[in-house]
Copies of this chain bind each other. A is one copy, B any other.
Amino acid sequence: MTTDAESESDTDADAPGTYERFEKHVKRYHYVGDAGGVLQWDQEVMMPDEGTPARAKQLSTLSTVSHEMLTDDDLSGWLDELDGQNLDEGQRANVRETRREHERAVKVPSDLVERISETTSNALPVWKEAKAEDDFDAYADTLEEIIQLKREYAEAIDSDRDPYEVLFEEYEPYLGLDTAEQILERLRDELVPLIDDIDDSDVELADPFSGAYDEADQEELVRAALDTLGYDWDRGRLDTAPHPFSTGTQFDARVTTRFQAEDPLDAVGSTIHEFGHATYTQGLPREHYGTPLGDSRDLSVHESQSRLWENHVGRSRPFWELFADTVDDHLGVDAAPGAFYEAANTVHPDNLIRVEADELTYHMHIVLRFEIERDLIHGDLDVEEVPQVWNEKMEEYLGVRPDTDSEGCLQDIHWTHGSFGYFPTYSLGSVLAAQLYAAAEDDLGSLDGQIREGNFDPIHDWLTENVHAHGSRYTTDDLIREATGEEFTADYFLDYADAKYRELYDC
């Protein structure tokens, strides 16, 4: 509180005091969350096998502490007091984001939170076993129970609205489910014919890789990729994890990757993807660490950063013109840049597994999951119908039918975790990546030459200035408008995909 403020009226004099107390509390809430992030990273990357029981207790305690901070009565009071106060734009953003999280959290009874947590914990081994045994029936009751609980959860938050919309907003609060639906429908309507044409094409793309590649060599290669792209090692590190992820803060944003002996492009692509997430995190304003202003926007925006680097940079022709020699240096694969470019962009409609899908067919895997999970939450689809509907949609969208549910509707962990409404954000991220990349090129001119020369500063700077530096200052829709001058649209992604793949497959 300043001395000046003390001479003002009571109400005004209270305002800065309230905001400061509010902000201190918000920071503690964020710091506890980030501490949990370190524990999770450690669990995935470093923890010995038998550490799980203790780690589960530590994490669930941090999560309880965090929940108590978010639903705290003092916080309610401060949010009430700050309502209508004369705050600056940044302060208003911190209040808006905290209020949104707070209001959702206080609406959900703690016994429901506990039941969801317990049910999804217990569901994990059931799902694993069902997947291993290809036995959907053994999992069906569990899935039904989770769906019921998630409906209850949505109803607790807002019983007047579409429960799937309420769940979707957990991951993407500002884009609107209607916008998401329109975009996913356009992807389905326009990508299915494109994929069909590719399937009919006689073109065989090059594959310069053969045999198995040493893990240590692959690691050197992906480290070289991170060096090339400008990863800030003083604020990050690279490790391996079974399911690659990125985590951390603007002071310490870490990347993980994995290695498949016969497919070095998997490690390269997945490393560049996680690098994209990490550069977003590293680009968040350090002075706002611990508040929404210093925190990333939601899942689609985060995914747009990973997809932009993975696809628009890492799967581009100029990138492979730059990077082909490095592959030769580390793996002894002497091929023309065009051959690597083709290998990185080969479309496999017959692939059944989402996480192994190419840039294009990936979205059909998402559309399918979106349609099924929405109908499940709405009660328009019974759990026992899932395998059949899954397989029919695979046939319809990709022309391929899984032989087993393990390779079909049992492949992903998300529903078992209780995550309904999460899948769409993957595709929305790709779509946004294309829109942002087009806006960057609109401002900077074509980036091909810069990429070919290994100069990634312009695109880094553009993304930092237009996305990263804002943290959660803007709502997601406003952020997109500010950065691109347009509403969120699938136009750029569809144009990009059409041009790129029709050229590659001559179709």
Stretch at the interface among A51-59, A363-371, A448-456: A51-59
Q: What are 15 A-B pairs at a CB distance below 8 A?
A: A28-B61, A31-B58, A32-B61, A32-B62, A35-B61, A38-B39, A48-B252, A48-B254, A52-B251, A54-B252, A54-B289, A55-B251, A55-B252, A57-B290, A65-B65
Separation in Å of the A208 CB from the closest CB of chain B?
A: 33
Q: Which of A49, A57, A64, A233 has the most CB of B within 10 A?
A: A57
Q: Is the interface of A mostly helix, strand, loop or mixed?
A: helix
B251 touches A54 (CB 8 A): yes
Known: A27-B61, A38-B38. 6 other contacts (CB 8 A): A31-B57, A32-B61, A35-B39, A51-B252, A53-B251, A65-B65
- Report B-chain residues with C-beta under 8 Å of the C-beta of A35: 35-36, 39, 58-59, 61-62
Q: Of A49, A64, A65, A233, which is in contact with the most chain B CB atoms at under 10 Å from its CB?
A: A65
Known: A31-B57, A31-B58, A289-B57. A50 touches B237 (CB 8 A): no
What residue of chain B has the Cβ atom nearest to residue A237's Cβ?
B48
A330 CB-CB contact with B under 8 Å: no
On A, residues with C-beta under 8 Å from B are: 27-28, 31-32, 34-36, 38-39, 42, 46-55, 57-59, 61-62, 64-65, 233-237, 249-252, 254, 286, 289-290
Closest to A289 in B: B54
* Minimal Cβ-Cβ distance residue in B for A290: B57
Known: A32-B65, A39-B35. A233 touches B48 (CB 8 A): yes
Could you say which residues of chain B place their CB within 8 Å of the CB of A48? 233-237, 252, 254
| Pairwise interchain contact B58-A38, C-beta atoms closer than 8 A | yes
Tell me the bound Cα distance from A205 to B397 in angstroms: 79
Question: Cα distance A32–B290 when bound, in Å?
Answer: 19
Q: How far is the CA of A233 from the CA of B48 in the complex (A)?
A: 7
Assembled-state Cα–Cα distance A252/B46 (Å): 11
Whether the pair B289, A50 counts as a contact (CB closer than 8 A) is no
Q: Given A35-B58, A65-B65, A290-B57, A252 and B28 touching (CB < 8 A)?
A: no
CB-CB under 8 A from A290, the residues of chain B are 57
With the chains together, A128 CA to B401 CA distance in Å?
A: 67
A39 to B36, CA, bound (A): 9
Q: Taking CB as reference atom, which chain B residue is nearest A54?
A: B251
Most buried by B among A34, A54, A250: A54
Check B251–A46 contact: CB distance below 8 A: no
A28, A38, A59, A289 — most chain B CB neighbours (10 Å): A38
Alpha-carbon gap, A32 to B64, bound state (A): 11
3 smallest beta-carbon distances between A and B, as pairs = A51-B252, A54-B251, A31-B61
Instruction: Say which residue of B46, B50, B62, B289 sits within 8 Å of A46 (CB atoms).
Output: B46
Tell me how far the C-beta of A64 lies from the nearest C-beta in chain B, rounded to whole angstroms. Answer: 7
Q: Which residues of B contact A53 (CB under 8 A)?
A: 251, 286, 289
User: Which residues does chain B contribute within 8 Å of A233, judged by CB atoms?
Assistant: 48
Taking the nearest CB of chain B, how far is it from the CB of A245, in angstroms?
16
Question: Which residues in B have their C-beta under 8 angstroms from that of A249?
Answer: 51, 54
